[in-house]
Amino acid sequence: MSALLSVRGLAKHFPIKKGIFGRPGGFVRAVDGVSFDVMPAETLGLVGESGCGKSTTGRMILRLIEPTAGTVEFDGVNLVTLDSKSMRKLRRKIQVMFQDPFSSLNPRMTVGAIIREGLTIHKIAEGAAADARVRQLLDEVGLRAEYMSRYPHEFSGGQRQRIGIARALAVEPTFIVCDEPVSALDVSVQAQVINLLQDLQRDRGLAYLFIAHDLSVVEHIADRVAVMYLGKIVELATSADLYREPLMPYTQALLSAVPVPDPTLGKSRVVLQGDVPSPANPPSGCVFHPRCQHPAKDAACAAIVPPLEEKTPGHWVACIKQPPTSVEWGVQQAAGATKPPTRYLPVMASA
């Protein structure tokens, strides 16, 4: 099966303007060489700390922000090279759900007008047919048809997010960028919205890029998970593999910080030292090496930029101190090895 969305070497460097004439004095490397694929009807979770470049990546895919470098191929078409007219036609297939369910809706428009707008722009339906389509979409997301005449401020956060989902579905997309769609909602409402997204994916064959901070939510909805740090993807694996055995020290630290609902259950915690480096002046070599606590860390970590390699089948890691690639491990197994060297195994340090 070929990828629905293929991102290669995507980068965004924002200029730092200085002086009275605003001349560039450097660049903020918000996203720096990101590559991944999203398969049809798949959910790819994109996680990481605030400021690591998750939302910028999603906005570049949508061409809401123009990338500095890289390609974004959707269904075989490179979106980066398209003119505005051609891109507008493809926007029917690529939609977005924003984080804030209130500011993303026009407060001066009724719910019916908000959902109908996409139908009108793309000439999908007009008049009575458009109204019928709006009523159908509201019913599909769990809202009543009479809500068409109401305004966004009359709804709760969860209801407003359902309106945003109905707006995205109106033009019949195949891929949706979900930019932290449940982070502003209560826990119980989060579960309802996540279940709704999964039902829509099953019924419509949708693919999602699910950007989030909450790792427990991502574990529930994502088929694969990509971990970002300082503008780079440092680990990419299936959800089951990543949560069972994270290989990148940064991923281990993230997962160790996820709260456990049972207070009697002991849990080791990886406490990172120092602050996240500035994307305007990223460290040399591995971007995580200044805060890394891996027992095998040495001078090579500060000198070598680790590529994203397949360490075990389907599990990609950007770390030179982690288990060997699948090809190297196959050679070692053929020579009689039964497990990687102990010093390369991931270590979960206690707080």
Instruction: Give the total number of structural domains in the chain.
Output: 2
Token pair belonging to 47: 């996680």
Token pair belonging to 4: 């629905």
The whole-number pLDDT of residue 338 equals 59
Residue 224 shares a structural domain with residue 249: no
Residue 210 shares a structural domain with residue 67: yes
Residue 288 shares a structural domain with residue 222: no
Residue 140 shares a structural domain with residue 210: yes
Residue 314 shares a structural domain with residue 220: no
The whole-number pLDDT of residue 350 equals 31
What residues are paired with 78 via a beta bridge? 73
Residue 26 shares a structural domain with residue 141: yes
The whole-number pLDDT of residue 172 equals 94
Q: Is 172 part of a structural domain of the chain?
A: yes
Pair type for strands 224-229 and 43-47? parallel
The whole-number pLDDT of residue 347 equals 34
**Residue 101 is part of which domain span?**
5-228
Residue 164 shares a structural domain with residue 299: no
The whole-number pLDDT of residue 62 equals 94
Q: Is 336 part of a structural domain of the chain?
A: yes
Token pair belonging to 173: 């997309």
Nearest alpha carbon to residue 41 among 198, 181, 148: 198
Q: How far is CA 123 from CA 69, 120, 127, 128, in A?
A: 33, 5, 11, 14
Q: Is 239 part of a structural domain of the chain?
A: no
Mean local confidence (pLDDT), 46-70: 94
Give the pLDDT confidence of 295-311 residue by residue, as tens digits. 888 888 999 999 999 88
Residue 342 has pLDDT above 50, yes or no: no
Residue 109 shares a structural domain with residue 222: yes
Give the pLDDT confidence of 160-174 residue by residue, as tens digits. 999 999 999 999 999
Nearest alpha carbon to residue 181 among 107, 103, 100: 100
Residue 323 shares a structural domain with residue 213: no
pLDDT, mean over the chain: 88
User: Please, are residues 89 and 95 in contact by the beta-carbon 8 Å criterion?
Assistant: no
Q: Is 155 part of a structural domain of the chain?
A: yes
The whole-number pLDDT of residue 337 equals 60
Residue 331 has pLDDT above 70, yes or no: no
What percent of the chain stands above pLDDT 90? Answer: 64
The whole-number pLDDT of residue 93 equals 95
State pTM to two decimals: 0.87
The whole-number pLDDT of residue 273 equals 84
Residue 22 shares a structural domain with residue 100: yes
Give the pLDDT confidence of 82-91 residue by residue, as tens digits. 998 999 889 9
The whole-number pLDDT of residue 213 equals 87
User: Please, are residues 285 and 302 in contact by the beta-carbon 8 Å criterion?
Assistant: yes
Q: How many angstroms separate the CA atoms of 272 and 301, rounded?
A: 17
Q: How many angstroms separate the CA atoms of 201 and 257, rounded?
A: 30
